[in-house]
Structure 1
Amino acid sequence: MLDFFQEAISPLNLPFTILLGLMILYWLVVIMGAADADWMPDLDLDADDGGGLLASFFQFLSLGDVPVTVVVSVMIFSAWCFSMLANHFLNPGGSIFIGTTLLFINMLLGLFATALFTRVMLRIFGPLHGEDTEDQQILYRVGTVITSRVDADFGQVEIETKGAPITVNARAVDDRIFTKGEKVLIFDEDEEKGIFFVDKYEA
């Protein structure tokens, strides 16, 4: 146990250990109800602003479909695990050169592990958006765009209910783009992907 602790606070692993500690502290605060699990701001992925590559990167990590806080947490935990294992088995001498090389490899592995995890989450939990209860009836209801936009590749919509609002992953059709705050009509669902299709709402 002492060896594990010493490994965790070694100079090469310490940055990831600090991030992991902050992540655990954050989720403890969330569990106690003192913080929102999805407090991070919406990400603007508009390709018109030169964000095409960035948008592809965010979509690779399923950002917009999975809360940012979950994606970041999985990324930190994955990178920490890879760092601990790589430095223990491949860099027992604590070489700075080897450790720096492993740092970049660990970050890449963490990204791929995060992308895999988020895709598994979407396949498991995505279909649950359509539970058949009075408040969970989503089709043909009006919602409000809560992300920077809803287009063919990205977006979320919030639906008011008698209880807590429902947030669903939404997509527009026919190259339409709806901006934050717009009212949209939910008219179709892709149960396999856990997304809903929206169109312009006309009162």
Structure 2
Amino acid sequence: MDTIFDIAFSPVNLTLSILVILLILYWIFNMISGIDFDLDIDVDIDVDSDINVDTSLESASFNDVLNAEINKEDFRTPNTKKSIWWQHLLMYFNFVGLPFMFTFTCWVFFWWLSTIISTTITASYNTNYGYTLLLAGLLPSLVLTKIFTTPFKGFFKNLNPDGDKPVNFIGRKGTMLSKISKDKMGSAEILVDNNPISVYVKPKNGITLTYKQEIVITKQSSDKNFYWVISAEDPNERIVNIEDIKF
């Protein structure tokens, strides 16, 4: 019988095994050596079924890497068109709202582990059937990732290593980054201390808001996933003055 090493580095399991090793080295390298990576990941999703993932690596601390998140507020309008189901896929399996590398590492590990176990039991790690098991393990590994990472949402949500005060967006003006109407969701850019921040928004009362239109945030949704907005020129709505809000 082949050893676990032979199984892990068999043709079927080789790719995932190498990826797991790289991820382990990634975390060890950051924790021990203190080499800084800033993983700025923006998942740009438009309500018209757009998605674009932009990653950049710059200098930052390990805490920045650990807490680099794709948030529901970080959705922006891209230039390419893709299916809207990607939005729900990322959100449902916790790639949104948790540090991306944390969720990604968990997913790859569970996928690798399920493939190792299934190909070992069936002795298919050197056969074409093993590749079928490899692909079949993708969805179960995502389910396991969701189950495992969900309890961490509260931890990372309350984790604030820099001691920064949370931003209150209510009453702030911004600019639409996509066209929305009725119950569709889009994104808007808000300037906070001259820093642009993208937030996930829906139009209040189903009004139509166009790209680059000035808006005002009126309320956060009950599930805290997005903000309700109105047109900055809407005469029928009472606009909250940001100066009257105590932070």
Q: CA deviation at 1:20?
A: 0.9
TM-score normalised by the chain length of structure 1: 0.64
1:99 alignment partner, one of 130, 136, 149? 130
Q: CA deviation at 1:138?
A: 3.0
Gaps of 5+ in 2: 51-80, 233-240, 242-247
Tell me which residue corresponds to 1:172: 202
Tell me which residue corresponds to 2:23: 23
Matched, 1:44 2:45: yes
Do the aligned partners of residues 119 and 18 (structure 1) sit closer, same or farther apart at CA in structure 2, a change above 3 Å counting? same
Greater Cα shift, 169-178 or 100-109: 169-178
1:197 alignment partner, one of 214, 221, 227? 227
The SS at the match of 1:40 is strand
Tell me which residue corresponds to 1:140: 170
The SS at the match of 1:138 is coil
Q: CA deviation at 1:92?
A: 2.7
**CA–CA separation in structure 1 for the residues paired with 2:99 and 2:210:** 20
Tell me which residue corresponds to 2:54: none
The one-letter amino acid paired with 2:135 is F
1:79 alignment partner, one of 88, 97, 111? 111
TM-score normalised by the chain length of structure 2: 0.55
The SS at the match of 1:43 is strand
Q: CA deviation at 1:26?
A: 2.6
The one-letter amino acid paired with 2:38 is D
Identity %, equivalent residues? 19
Q: CA deviation at 1:198?
A: 4.5
Do the aligned partners of residues 9 and 144 (structure 1) sit closer, same or farther apart at CA in structure 2, a change above 3 Å counting? farther
The SS at the match of 2:104 is helix
Specify which structure has the higher proportion of helix.
Answer: 1
Does structure 1 conserve the Cα–Cα contact (< 8 Å) formed by 2:95 and 2:104? no
| Equivalent residues, number | 192
Tell me which residue corresponds to 2:89: 57
Q: CA RMSD in A?
A: 4.5
**CA–CA separation in structure 2 for the residues paired with 1:178 and 1:30:** 43
Does structure 1 conserve the Cα–Cα contact (< 8 Å) formed by 2:209 and 2:231? no
**CA–CA separation in structure 1 for the residues paired with 2:35 and 2:215:** 30
Does structure 2 conserve the Cα–Cα contact (< 8 Å) formed by 1:128 and 1:194? no
Report Cα offsets for 1:104-124 as digits up to 9, x if no partner. 1111212222333444433x3
